[in-house]
Amino acid sequence: MKLLRYGQPGSEKPGLVDDRGTVRDLSGAISDLDGSALSDKAIERLRQIDPATLPAVTPDRVGPCVGRVGKFICVGLNYIDHARETGKEPPAEPILFMKATSAIVGPNDDIEIPRSSNKADWEVELGVVIGKRAKYVETSDALSHVAGYCVVNDVSERAFQSERGGQWTKGKSHDTFGPLGPWLVTRDEVTNPQALELWLDVDGVRQQTGATSNMIFDVAFLVSYISQFMTLEPGDVIATGTPPGVGMGIKPAPVFLKPGQTIALGISGLGCQKSRTVEARN
């Protein structure tokens, strides 16, 4: 299933996309698409509903595909070519950092360029949405704890990230730096999360092209690994790293975002995002 949330910020309703691409209202079945609705049993109940019996809607806005995210966990340098374009060696173990949940916005919402920013950058990533509590899980069982997958743009401010005390979270957490969606695609529709194509354009120019098959650490390993350090709860989101082609890696000189640009990105089977960059609001 393709599940989503639609409506104005703070008032989103749950929905699904039927086989014809029509959005159907799920608010009569669940209150929101959050951790409480992401267990295997809960998703199976939704699957038993005939979409034709649900009201068809025309959303004025698509919101982030997961509500009330508890943890937004990111994996750094998880593609060899991306690690090398940043001047770093591929890591021996996953690099983990947190992105503030206040950064989460819808897939087509504006992306703010922060005040004093001069190195805002883009990163298309596969998002993994947890559906079942995971603590000390084995790699062989890790994917059973996944509810589904989504597109993530791990927007970054490189100067804040690397030149302001070495705290990656500083450069990753500005408001609007975490577009999620458009859909949460349930696990059964993604038979192999390591066989997905990723892409990202800035102002119509292709900047990133990649494949999840090139991850250094695959999804199952990441879920298991992270669960050794913290308990993953339903509704938590893991951004699994970006392929090469980010602005900081462009030669001979890096290229960064400025207000008034368009960023489009997508992952095969998971949908596309399209955002405009704007000056930061108060």
For residue range 196-239, list pLDDT tens digits in order: 999 999 999 999 999 999 999 999 999 999 999 999 999 999 99
Joined together, the tokens standing for residue 261 give 């640009």
Task: Say whether pLDDT at 10 is over 80.
Answer: yes
Mean pLDDT, to the nearest integer, of 75-94?
91
Joined together, the tokens standing for residue 149 give 């997958």
What does the pLDDT read at residue 103? 98
The answer to whether the CB of 241 falls within 8 A of the CB of 212 is: no
Q: Could you tell me the residue ranges of all domains in the chain? A: 2-57, 72-279
Report the range of poorest mean pLDDT among 104-113, 161-170, 191-200.
Answer: 161-170
Domain spanning 72-279, CATH architecture: Alpha-Beta Complex (3.90)
167: confidence class by pLDDT, cuts 50, 70, 90: confident
DSSP 3-32: EEEESSTT--EEEEE-TTS-EEE-TTT-S-
Task: Say whether pLDDT at 88 is over 90.
Answer: no
- State the average pLDDT for the chain: 97
What does the pLDDT read at residue 105? 98
Whether cis (ω within 30° of 0) applies to the bond prior to 64 is no
Number of H helices, E strands in the chain: 6, 19
Q: How far apart, in Å, are the Cα atoms of 103 and each of 29, 52, 152, 263?
A: 28, 35, 12, 17
Give the span between the Cα atoms of 256 and 155, in whole angstroms: 11
